Copies of this chain bind each other. A is one copy, B any other.
Amino acid sequence: MAQTTNRQILLVEKPTGKLGPQHFKMSESAVPEPKDGEVLLRVLYISLDAANRAWMQGATYRSAVEANSVMAGGGLAEVMASKAPGFAPGDLVFGDTGWQDYTAVPAKHLVKVPRIEPLTHLLSVFGIAGLTAYFGLLNVGKPKAGETVVVSAAAGSVGSIVGQIAKIKGCRVIGIAGGKDKCNWLTSELGFDAAVDYKSEAIFKTLKAAAPNGIDVYFDNVGGDILEACLPQMNLRGRIACCGAISQYDGAPSATGPRGIPGLIVVKRLTMQGFIVTDFYDQRDQAFSDLQSWVKAGQLKVQEDVIDGLENTPQALIGLLAGENRGKRMVKV
């Protein structure tokens, strides 16, 4: 435990096109000393999220990540030493730890989390992924029983939970995912009513066949062509929960937006609403309690994709952007 070197993965250059391993390098530094108000953390698991790539494009809901600094990223960590009231060695926390073994961060940026087993659930169903799915679907999408809900990136960490919660709420659920295997998994394992493989099927037509009564709620993780295909199929007063735009992250920013905006929004009286999970943190207790009871009852299956070794974090993100993962991807440091 008296480790003195801290492995860190730096972003050496901001990618202009696709993200590749050449944009990162491993480096070593001394384990930092916490200052007043800070805690020293040992990072246990690093969360991989498509948003990591968006942060390289510029300021979003956080400042942009900069070249030649430790790559930013959410992580589950254990407190090793504390110079902040309310935090003690052994506490588990979630925060922006970055891609490294150790970090000293101001305690005010950390959230204490309970020691739930398996710990990985704190980054998947009980972490940002689960809460994003829960709040985005229920507070923004507002589905009613019997309505049709479509979710993109449906085999991903958020999408796979969105679809299952929509089923729990009595909706017809269609997932859009890349590849036959993922699509089969959605329908046979997670209980989705239908799945559309955007890599091998004509998305507009297949979606239309899968959603013959139109779409009431579209939970959008991807933007771009898939958003464009959903727009004309939205029902009157449909809701589009804008969660992310994965299709736009890994490359040059798109020169255009989806056709039909704002025309279809007017005609169909649609609501498109963007959100970030923290917007709803005042309702977190209820969300945790619901998610826990659904997992316990077997109504909500948790799929995780845990990769071993800090050194594999760059490739884990590159692969996530290429759609490799099923469920929540994270790195065990």
Is A268 an interface residue, CB under 8 A from the partner? yes
A269 → B minimal CB distance (Å): 5
| Contact status B267-A227, CB under 8 Å | no
> What residues on B are CB-neighbors of A254 within 8 Å?
259
Q: Cα distance A257–B259 when bound, in Å?
A: 4
Contacts A257-B259, A261-B258: A266 and B244 contacting too (C-beta < 8 A)?
A: yes
| Contact status B276-A248, CB under 8 Å | no
Q: Cα distance A29–B296 when bound, in Å?
A: 74
A181 → B minimal CB distance (Å): 27
Is A263 an interface residue, CB under 8 A from the partner? yes
Contacts A60-B267, A61-B267, A267-B60: A227 and B262 contacting too (C-beta < 8 A)?
A: yes
> What residues on B are CB-neighbors of A263 within 8 Å?
54, 223, 245, 248
| Contact status B245-A262, CB under 8 Å | yes
| Contact status B269-A274, CB under 8 Å | yes
> What residues on B are CB-neighbors of A276 within 8 Å?
266, 269
Q: Cα distance A267–B223 when bound, in Å?
A: 13
> What residues on B are CB-neighbors of A227 within 8 Å?
261-262
Is A273 an interface residue, CB under 8 A from the partner? yes
Is A243 an interface residue, CB under 8 A from the partner? yes
| Contact status B274-A267, CB under 8 Å | yes
> What residues on B are CB-neighbors of A242 within 8 Å?
262, 265-266
A256 → B minimal CB distance (Å): 3
| Contact status A266-B279, CB under 8 Å | no
- Other A-B contacts than A60-B267, A228-B257, A271-B272, 19 sampled, CB-CB below 8 A, are A54-B263, A227-B261, A240-B262, A242-B262, A243-B266, A245-B266, A248-B263, A255-B259, A256-B259, A257-B257, A257-B262, A258-B262, A261-B261, A262-B272, A264-B274, A265-B272, A266-B276, A269-B279, A271-B273
| Chain A residues near B (Cβ < 8 Å) | 54, 60-61, 220, 223, 227-228, 240, 242-245, 248, 253-276, 279
Q: Which 4 A/B pairs are nearest by Cβ-Cβ distance?
A: A256-B256, A257-B257, A265-B274, A266-B274
- Can you give 22 A-B contacts (C-beta < 8 A)? A60-B267, A223-B261, A223-B263, A227-B262, A228-B257, A242-B266, A245-B262, A245-B266, A253-B259, A254-B259, A256-B256, A256-B257, A257-B257, A257-B260, A257-B261, A261-B261, A262-B272, A262-B274, A264-B274, A265-B274, A266-B274, A269-B275
